[in-house]
Structure formats: structure tokens, C-alpha cells
Structure 1
């Protein structure tokens, strides 16, 4: 009886006849290093193509062929996956802002535009916040679609404020509707009104009620994340949080907001007088949207972003490298 010469497969340490290991290595090198197709390998070695396929799979299983993914410069897949794992996100996009600590808007806008271009699908009903400079930067960088990729694009917070801010809100919604070939739907009301009584009356208006009913159809919502200190845009909008409202919100522990709904450091909603004056999507309807995408970054918004993640206000985050690193390394 002839005893076969046995070798050890590098990955498993399993004893395999040396002749078979030699064949596995030869097939693997021909396919992976020399770029030969399976039919060519089969013809060269006088074996069947199905056997070549089986040998290639066996070479991987035995560790003869090992796949190594080398991340290109500027790609942060591992960090994105850690964000998803730590905060239960559906997706995350991390962009290097080239050392910018304050003006991260251009880089975030470009990354968000790319994400929107590839993830909007036919039939989407998209909600969008009216007061985000980062979202406007993203939408302006989007490429117009040749076919319709969204059914409707609608505001989820009232859009009427100062004339300058109204131009911004109209431009944001109109541009997104144009590039996705969707029907634009505006909220015919101010985002913040003087009293809860006025807000309650507006919510009974037939035009406002018609828009509110459509919020239940949303498949994706695009938002910024606000800090307690209003952004320059919100200050100019006529919808800013007053000093008195800020004092109340701060006393209640608020650190940030999504769609003008404020939350504390753990992401729990803060029940304030201000919240009862907001004309916009309610918290329950917002959280029911399948894909809730936030585009936000910068040191000023770190606490608000972290709280929004902890409170599961969003499930997709597009942010900068410094913010993502802090979110995955700080307790």
C-alpha cells in the first residue's frame, strides 16, 4: 500500500495530500494572480470547469487564498461600522473634513449628496426639515435624476418666517423636488407661533391638516440636529428660540433638537412650553418613519448629536471624522 504524502493547509492546519495541495495552489494562482478565467484553467489543466470552481472554493476554505480588504485613503468603513454597532444605526457615513473644526458644512453636504443620490429609490416619500444649511448644501450638490425617484417631498416643520428664511426653505424643498422629480408639499404655517392656543387652532386648519395626514406616508426624513444655541439660520428665520425659551429648556436639561423637538442628554424628549408652540411633525409620527437621516457635525453640535443617537431619534448619521471618533471612543 502506498502512503500518501500529506501536507498541512495553512488556514486550517488540516492534513491534505501534497498533490492535492499543489493542485489547489496552482489553480488559485492561475485564477487570482494570473487573471485566468475558469474555462481557461480547466482547458490548461485538462479538468472540468465545475471542478475548477470547487477547487477555488476549497482553496479559500483551507486558507490558501485569503481576502484582505485595504481601505483607500479617506474611507472610514471600520469607524462607520462601529457607529452602527454602538448606536444601533441602519447606516453611517463618515467624511474627513480636512481638519476643519467649525465649517464642516461643505464636506458634509458633499457626502450627504452622494448618499442621497445612491439611496433614494422610486416611490420614496421624503420629509425634510426647513432650517438646515447643511441639508441645503447637500441638496444643491445632488445630480438631477433622469427618472422619478420620489413621489413627494414635503416639509415636516412649518416654513414661514422672515422673508430671507422663507426663500431658504422654499429653495431647499424646491431643489430637492426638482432633482428627484417629486411633487413638493409645503406646510402653510409658521414653524413656531406665539402661543399653544394659536398652534392648536392652526392644526385644525384644513390646509395644515391635509399636509399632516401625509406625514404618515413618509419613507425617509432628512434632518439636521440642532444644539440648544440657535444656528445663525434659525436666528434669521423668525422661528428662533427666544432667550426665555432657552432658559426654560436649559433648566429642563435640553441639549439639542430634531425638527424643533428638544431632548436631554439621554435623548429623552423635553416637555416644554416651546414644544407646544411648534407647528411640525409630532414625535410619534417622526419616530415611525423607517429611515431617519441626520446630516450633522462639528464640535459645537457634539453633545446634541450624541443625545440624538442615544435617544434613537435618527437611524442614519452622516458626520465628520472628528465627531465620529469622539462618538466611538468617549463614554
Structure 2
């Protein structure tokens, strides 16, 4: 994190550019993360009255609107750098280094939910992956009524221990209720035991109906899975992969996954063995969806995130400040 704000009464000496940046940072914490002014003041090591003035400045100068919309000339430096380097629309959640992984996830999820809402339209087909990050996002969605919209599950959730239906359906149901959309579940395992079984199942009409919805998606929302994440990705901690699977991923130099489809650091994925058994969407096809929103929390996912960006999987990226810094500076 950068230098803390000046203490009460001293912030009038800051340069206009820095003052505008500080106002935006305080506004994001207050309006998108539900932090109180006292909490923001403690985190930024300044006074409550300074935060109050910054919030007033944010409103007066148009930084705060009903929809968060930072024009490129006003966007914080990290967001600009990510946009230029990776070609994605970035939303960086300002969070101090001292905040623990669980709190980082919750605050990223809050801002993600509020960023996604204005992007959802009627007549949309929205693909949603399951996982720890999307589960957190689903708890903070705000209601927006749409018409003739569909939420479709991006990948199966069953394994040898559970059908996965309860876990995945709770996430999908939250999205459906928030946007008044029909929910279409995908009741297949996350991974088939044999690639031949997947090939045969993909010919079944009931399965092809879901695949057709996925092919017509107008938006996809997903996180990035990583074995080494501070909060373990559900696919690695929920009994989906055995030791042999994990060894295969290591041999194939996998750095992460999106919706249980794996990729390497350079974004390649075609010849990764486990993908032939995964029920996640073809990554080349996913890369053609008009709007692809990737939500990432925690610096330990940075290798997976770089791989996802190299594969061209995201058009929009919502991530915490620490991860953003590592993304552009290392």
C-alpha cells in the first residue's frame, strides 16, 4: 500500500492529483465495501474528519455515482497499468497489507457483487462457476429485476463423496434470486473417471441442452483456482482430485484453473490430460463470450491469474490491491 493519508488538518497540503486519488480510495471503501468512516480512518492511518472531507470531495467531483464508473483519466494507477498491459477492464479493491485472507475475500466479494449488478441486463444468459470466491460473491448480490434472463452452471460439481448439488445450487440460486433469472443446473460430476464417458454424455440431449445455453452465454462469471491459495480453492480442497490427478497436473505444469479447466503459465491448455475428463467449458470457447468477469482474492493466486490472462479468459478483472501490485510489478 502507498503512503498513508496525512493526519487531520494536513491533507490540504497534498497535490490535487493525490487528493483525487485519496478521495476515490476512501469512496471505494465506504460505498463498495461497507466500511465505516472510523474503520477507513484506522486502516489509512488518518482521522475520521479527513475521511469525511474526502468522501465529500468524491461526491462533489463526480467520483461517486449510482454506478461506479471510473473514467480512464481518473482511474487509479494500478487499474490503468493492468488495462494497458493485459487489455482487461480492472477494478482494484483497496485493502491494507495487514488485512487477513478471509477479510480480503469478503471485501473483494462485496465490490465484485456491486460491480457485476449494473452489468447484468435482461435477455442475458449468464454462466456462473462454483468455488470459494463465487460463493462469497453470491452472499453480497444486490437485487436487480431483469426479464427473460438465465443463470447457467458452467461446470459439474459432483465427486466421489458428494453430488455437489447443494453447494453449487446455493450459489446459482443466489444469482437467480438477485436478478430474477431462471436457473439451469448442470447435474454431472466435476470430472468423469474416463474421457470416453464425457464424450458419450455430451451426446445426450439433456446434457446438450445445457451445453447449448453455455454456447449462447452473453456473460461468464468465475474465479481462478489455485492449489496454493491462502483460502484453498474448492476444487483442490473438496475431494475432487486424488493424488494421481494432482501428480498429473504437476507433470503438465498447470498453474491454475477456471471452472475446473486447467491451464499453464503461458495460457496453453489443449493437451492437459485432466481437461479431457473435466465438465468445465472449453476455454477457447469461453474466450469468445462477450463479457467475462474474473474475480480474484489473494496474492497466492497470482500465478493462476497470470495464466488466465495469458489465455485471454477475462474482459473484466476484480481483484484486491495486493494482488494487483504483484500482477504489474513482478
- Asked whether the two chains share a fold, i.e. TM above 0.5, the reply is yes
Q: What 5-or-longer segments of structure 1 have no aligned partner?
A: 1-65
| Structure 1 residue 186 corresponds to structure 2 residue 185 | yes
Offset, 1:159: 2.8
1:41 alignment partner in structure 2: none
- The correspondence of residues 113-124 of structure 1 with structure 2, limited to 5 A, is 113-124=113-124
Greater Rg by CA = 1
1:156 alignment partner in structure 2: 154
Equivalent of residue 70 in structure 1, options 20, 28, 48: 20
Superposed CA deviations along residues 75-103 of structure 1, whole A, max 9, x for unmatched, are 573211211111011x1111123333532
Give the paired residue count: 261
Q: Is the 8 A contact 2:224 2:256 kept in 1?
A: yes
Question: Which SS does the other structure have where 1:153 is aligned?
Answer: strand
Inter-CA distance 111–211: structure 2 relative to 1 (3 Å threshold): same
Q: Is the 8 A contact 1:120 1:149 kept in 2?
A: no
Question: Which SS does the other structure have where 1:226 is aligned?
Answer: coil
1:170 alignment partner in structure 2: 169
Q: Is the 8 A contact 1:221 1:292 kept in 2?
A: yes
Inter-CA distance 92–267: structure 2 relative to 1 (3 Å threshold): same
| Structure 1 residue 97 corresponds to structure 2 residue 95 | yes
Q: Is the 8 A contact 1:157 1:279 kept in 2?
A: yes
Q: Is the 8 A contact 1:223 1:294 kept in 2?
A: yes
Q: What 5-or-longer segments of structure 2 have no aligned partner?
A: 1-15, 29-74
Structure 2 CA distance, aligned partners of 1:272 and 1:140? 33
Q: Is the 8 A contact 1:225 1:258 kept in 2?
A: yes
Question: Which SS does the other structure have where 1:141 is aligned?
Answer: coil
Superposed CA deviations along residues 272-314 of structure 1, whole A, max 9, x for unmatched, are 3211111132123211101111111212211111221122121
Question: Which SS does the other structure have where 1:289 is aligned?
Answer: coil
- The correspondence of residues 170-249 of structure 1 with structure 2, limited to 5 A, is 170-228=169-227, 231=232, 233-235=234-236, 237-238=238-239, 240-249=240-249
Q: Is the 8 A contact 2:227 2:236 kept in 1?
A: no
Structure 2 CA distance, aligned partners of 1:67 and 1:279? 48
Question: Which SS does the other structure have where 2:149 is aligned?
Answer: strand
Structure 1 CA distance, aligned partners of 2:303 and 2:194? 29
1:45 alignment partner in structure 2: none
Structure 2 CA distance, aligned partners of 1:114 and 1:326? 24
1:326 alignment partner in structure 2: 326
1:271 alignment partner in structure 2: 271
Q: Is the 8 A contact 2:299 2:326 kept in 1?
A: no
Structure 2 CA distance, aligned partners of 1:68 and 1:302? 28
- CA-atom RMSD in angstroms: 2.3
Structure 2 CA distance, aligned partners of 1:100 and 1:305? 21
Superposed CA deviations along residues 154-178 of structure 1, whole A, max 9, x for unmatched, are 0010133444843120100011011
2:143 alignment partner in structure 1: 144
Q: Which contiguous aligned blocks of 4+ residues in structure 1 show a shift greater than 6 angstroms?
A: 66-69
1:88 alignment partner in structure 2: 87
Structure 2 CA distance, aligned partners of 1:280 and 1:164? 16
Superposed CA deviations along residues 48-69 of structure 1, whole A, max 9, x for unmatched, are xxxxxxxxxxxxxxxxxx9998
TM-score (normalised: structure 2): 0.73
Superposed CA deviations along residues 114-155 of structure 1, whole A, max 9, x for unmatched, are 11122212222100112x12212112211122x216610000
